[in-house]
Homo-oligomer: A and B are copies of this chain.
Amino acid sequence: MGSDSPAARLANTPPATPPFDIVRAAFVELAVTDLAAAERFYAELLGMIVAARTNDTVFLRGWEERQHHSLILRQSAPGQPATASRLGFRVRSEADLERASEHFTGEGLTTRWLEAGSDPGMGRSLRVWDPFGYPLEFFHAIEQSETQHQRFDLHRGAPLLRFDHLNLHSPRVEDAFRFWLGLGFRCSEYISTDGVGGDDVERMTGAWMLRKPTVHDVALTAGTGPRLHHFAYWIAEPAGVMRACDQLSGGYHTDVIERGPGRHGVSNAFFVYLRDPDGHRIELYSCDYYTGDPDHKPLRWSVNDPRCRSFYGTRAPDSWYEESSLLLGLDDQPVATEAANVDERAQHSEVAA
């Protein structure tokens, strides 16, 4: 596959002039089946700051963050499964929220306004169900707290500093890619097939897209979806990722570690993936790089490069590819999923070997 393949052309397409200005991915809301267990996981085991608490919600943030909260745990309705219920993005101004509303309405998508104060500390926000079923939410105003970045004496468990990105399990990666391109996201890296065998078309099986100048705000991973593959918090250094693992295992919680610690070839991240009591996946993420130059070009990885997903060659467990969080739909029911149109593992050497 050359640089003029369809996938390469797509990856290198300049982003649209954004219809409104998204600053970054900024929060996630998880519907959980046992709120107390979820709070224990994030606040006690991982050591996040509890910003606010209501009867059926807990609001948390990382140690560096001034934004009132970046993780919402919400007790799911009786009988309902755990889902990812809101994927939050901050926009630059209130005017951008208005433009967002016009844009999505113009696209024929369902939107809803949430009034300021619906969540503690937050201004009004705009909810949108994207064409694939992801429950997006855009906001500008949010209360600012004091950073506790340097209160190293209080950091416990895993020194989660700040919300970094959302990774979406996508049955049709290239379609999703075009959607985010349309919102002004650029691509930093992508994985594509080599187009061998019966199927000789190069296909994207993963893509990393950004607004803030890091490797990504949103990643797309080929797989049954729409689902949320994981959300990630930034850790200052690999030593912090390892310390989190040591503390989890030292306290007899090895079972929450799903994959890692290790390094991704893609993004250069030194990572570990954890599963919370409902199976939601959180990545502790360090070591990405600067992508803010205007002519920054995407890097391509072949799915057959063994270093692509696992720089040190460690095989990912099947669960990492197969499992992820259902989404909460417009009707308060889990969004129906479909299988991916390309299977990354079927092609690459980790499995072939």
Binding site for B on A (CB under 8 A): 23-24, 64, 66-67, 90, 92-93, 140, 144, 147, 149-155, 157, 161-162, 212-213, 234, 236-239, 242-243, 245-252, 254-255, 257, 259-263, 265, 268, 270, 272, 286-287, 289-290, 292-297, 299, 306-307, 311-315, 317
- From A249, which residue of chain B is reached at the shortest CB distance? B311
Central interface residue in A251, A259, A263, A272, by most chain B CB within 10 Å: A263
Tell me the smallest distance from the CB of A310 to a CB of chain B, in Å. 8
B247 touches A153 (CB 8 A): yes
The 8 Å CB contact of A64, one of B149, B155, B248, B290, is B290
Complex CA gap A307/B292 in Å reads 32
Chain B residues contacting A140 (CB-CB under 8 Å) are 294
| This protein's copies in its complex | 4
Majority SS at the chain A contact face: loop
Complex CA gap A189/B310 in Å reads 32
Other A-B pairs, 17, CB within 8 Å; known A249-B307, A261-B261: A66-B296, A90-B293, A144-B297, A147-B289, A150-B249, A150-B265, A150-B311, A152-B250, A152-B251, A212-B213, A237-B286, A238-B239, A239-B239, A246-B263, A249-B311, A252-B307, A260-B314
- From A67, which residue of chain B is reached at the shortest CB distance? B293
B312 touches A261 (CB 8 A): yes
Complex CA gap A24/B293 in Å reads 9
B290 touches A212 (CB 8 A): yes
A289 touches B149 (CB 8 A): yes
Tell me the smallest distance from the CB of A94 to a CB of chain B, in Å. 11
Given A236-B237, A254-B306, CB of A249 within 8 Å of CB of B315? no
Complex CA gap A295/B265 in Å reads 34
Q: What 3 A-B pairs come out closest when comparing CB atoms?
A: A152-B250, A153-B251, A237-B237
23 contacts between A and B (CB under 8 A): A92-B294, A93-B294, A140-B294, A144-B295, A147-B299, A149-B289, A150-B265, A150-B268, A150-B311, A153-B157, A153-B248, A213-B292, A234-B290, A236-B237, A246-B311, A249-B263, A249-B265, A249-B313, A254-B313, A255-B313, A260-B312, A272-B312, A315-B317
